[in-house]
């Protein structure tokens, strides 16, 4: 069996899958700090020695899962051809929803870990790398204000997505993305050293010219 061009023993794949499945089930039931290696071993029907053959601890299991999520998300964003910040936010919501809704256990992990997970900060960094081209035009005069605005906007994107996912995605993703973009525009207008009017923002590449 090959994964990413490398030969992998089927037994290894099966065992690691069982360990990860056990971890995701347990994270739904208790805080990660309360989960023990023995808990995972019992749930996965393996012994502790087998666990340590593949992982050095519980947080390595979590890190591996998060790495796969982030790699998938990064690859998906790289294939996009978005023209403005609103389209990027909309695409971000869609891609994240596809990832977490494709596996009920990943959905539970995201809901359970919330702000305590390193994945949130890593998601922000990925989104930042793709949004910089749309936001940079407003940040030429005051980098301190720019840093505050970026943090506020990107934290808002992640927080809104988490709440949207938790509430059952009742609002259409396009409507949600547009609302987040308008809120971001308000923050940029307040913090930017440039004298931006709402008309200026509306005609910028934050929003689609057709809206």
Provide the pLDDT for residue 20: 92
Q: Provide the percentage of residues in the chain whose pLDDT is more than 90.
A: 19
Burial of 144 (0-12, 13-18, 19+ CB in 10 A): exposed
Q: Model confidence over 141-194: pLDDT tens digits?
A: 666 666 777 777 888 888 888 888 778 778 887 888 888 878 877 777 676 644
Question: How large is the average pLDDT for residues 49-53?
Answer: 96
Residue 18 has pLDDT above 60, yes or no: yes
Residue 132 has pLDDT above 50, yes or no: yes
Both tokens of residue 103? 């596996």
Instruction: Enumerate the β-bridge partners of residue 152.
Output: none
- List the single range of 2-6, 55-59, 200-204 with lowest mean pLDDT: 2-6
- List the single range of 85-89, 103-107, 190-194, 199-203 with lowest mean pLDDT: 199-203
Calculate the CA 202 to chain-centre distance. Answer: 27
Greater confidence (138 vs 97) lies with 97
């Amino acid at each position: 069996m090959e994964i990413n061009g490398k030969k992998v023993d089927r037994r290894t794949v099966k065992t690691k899958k069982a360990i990860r499945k056990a971890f995701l089930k347990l994270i739904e039931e208790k805080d990660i700090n309360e989960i023990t290696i023995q808990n995972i071993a019992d749930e996965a029907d393996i012994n502790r020695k087998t666990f340590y053959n593949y992982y050095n601890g519980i947080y390595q299991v979590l890190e591996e899962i998060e790495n796969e999520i982030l790699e998938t998300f990064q690859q998906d964003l790289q294939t996009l051809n978005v023209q403005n910040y609103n389209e990027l936010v909309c695409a971000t919501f869609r891609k994240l929803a596809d990832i977490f809704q494709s596996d009920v256990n990943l959905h539970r992990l995201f809901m359970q870990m919330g702000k305590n997970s390193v994945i949130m900060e890593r998601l922000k960094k990925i989104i930042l790398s793709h949004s910089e081209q749309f936001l940079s035009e407003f940040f030429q005069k005051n980098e301190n204000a720019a840093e505050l605005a970026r943090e506020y906007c990107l934290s808002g994107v992640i927080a809104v997505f988490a709440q949207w996912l938790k509430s059952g995605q009742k609002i259409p993703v396009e409507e949600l993305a547009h609302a987040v973009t308008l809120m971001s525009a308000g923050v940029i207008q307040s913090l930017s050293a440039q004298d931006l009017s709402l008309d200026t923002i509306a005609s910028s590449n934050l929003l689609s010219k057709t809206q």
